[in-house]
Amino acid sequence: MAHSSADRRRVFLAYRTVFTGPHAQIRKSKKVREVIEQHKGSFQPLLKDFGFDKVADIIKTLLDQRVFESELKAKIAFPELFQTSPARDVQRNESENDAARSVAEAVEELESASEPSEPAAKIALSLYPSYLPYKTQHLILTVAQRQLEECCFDFAAKWLPSLLEEYKWDCAEAVELTKWTRTLAKRCDKVPASAIDSGSETPLKEVFFSTNVLRHTAVHRLPTTARGIHKMIQSASRLAQTLGDHSRAAELENLHLEIGSRIRDMELNKNFLENRLDEQLHAISEQRAELDRKEREAIATMLQEDQENKLLIGSFLEDAVGTTFGRPDETGPMESTSVVNGAHESDGNDGDEHENVAARGLL
């Protein structure tokens, strides 16, 4: 059964986060339905609108076309999701940079022991930069912080046991991350060269201190962008790798890749929503222009008809005046017809009176 592009796009955007990794390789209808059933609670509105069977059918088609597993095929199937304008790109980069600067300034204030200022609220028709729910951000950063503190403790236990004895640090929780990195950075020259994995091109000092922002953001509850979190986890993975903790480095790298994938899912959805808004605003602008034209036309019609009515009323009153008082001639003032007629009648009466007087005289 053929489905509209809009329906296929809606299902793709919703289930892209589900049918990823191994799930993107599913081809059997039964397994597809099982996965949909497992995540039923998260997509109730969609399932209510389309029905379970229609959603399953669309997902099966998209899986067969490898749209979930290949971004190239997704671009071919839904090019509108990947389209963006240069103006939008500039706006998004600026918003991301502004957010990054705000976090950096807050961290600097924290490190200088001053109270961080509240970031200025911005209202704009943009869904960027992308943010994760704060609960999710805090979970990711606190887990990464704990992993790094354990990594540092294990490194010290193996290569710098005297350090632990000197300060009586008997567990990873005894020292916060920034103190671990600062202490280990000073003691690196006291461990064998083989203890440090120097495969990274990033300077060793930067590797140690790049995780400070992770600790400050987690401890001081600083909301940061999804891309900012992505970068922090990358720094965490690099530090674990440098300290030779390949197991934790791999786990953190997997988390880094997962966050990157989810950010991409978010941005695809944001692209669609912003593009749709642009289309809606364009249509609204055209409707507004049409309404403005109709408004001007209605006002002009009202004024014109009022003028016509005024002239009509004027002509009626002029006729009434002419009927009542007579119309003005071309040379003199207007005279009342009743006055003129009265004058004629008076002249006739005067003639009759003269005739009567003459007759009485003869008598």
Task: Report the distance separating Cα 257 and Cα 241, nearest Å.
Answer: 16
Task: Please state, in angstroms and as integers, the Cα–Cα distance from residue 162 to each residue in 24, 74, 153, 154, 186, following that order.
Answer: 51, 56, 12, 13, 14
**pLDDT band at residue 358 using 50, 70 and 90 as cut-offs:** very low
Asked if the model's pLDDT at residue 362 lies above 70, the reply is: no
Task: Give whole-number Cα distances, 177 to 119, 168, 232, 340, in Å.
Answer: 26, 16, 13, 118
pLDDT tens digits, one per residue of 54-110:
999 999 999 999 999 999 999 999 998 887 777 777 777 777 777 777 777 776 666
The predicted-structure confidence for 129-175, as pLDDT tens digits, reads as follows 999 999 999 999 999 999 999 999 999 999 999 999 999 999 999 99
**Residues 153 and 293: beta-carbon distance below 8 Å:** no
Nearest C-alpha neighbor of 197 from the set 256, 138, 237, 142:
237
Q: How far is CA 307 from the centre of its chain?
A: 50
| Average pLDDT, integer, range 10-29 | 93
pLDDT in tens, 299-331: 999 999 999 999 999 999 999 999 999 876 644
| 195 vs 90, residue with greater confidence | 195
DSSP codes, 78-114 = -GGGT---HHHHHHHHHHHHHHHHHHHHHHHHHHTT-
Gap between the Cα atoms of 16 and 318, Å rounded: 81
Lookup: tokens for 164: 């632990």
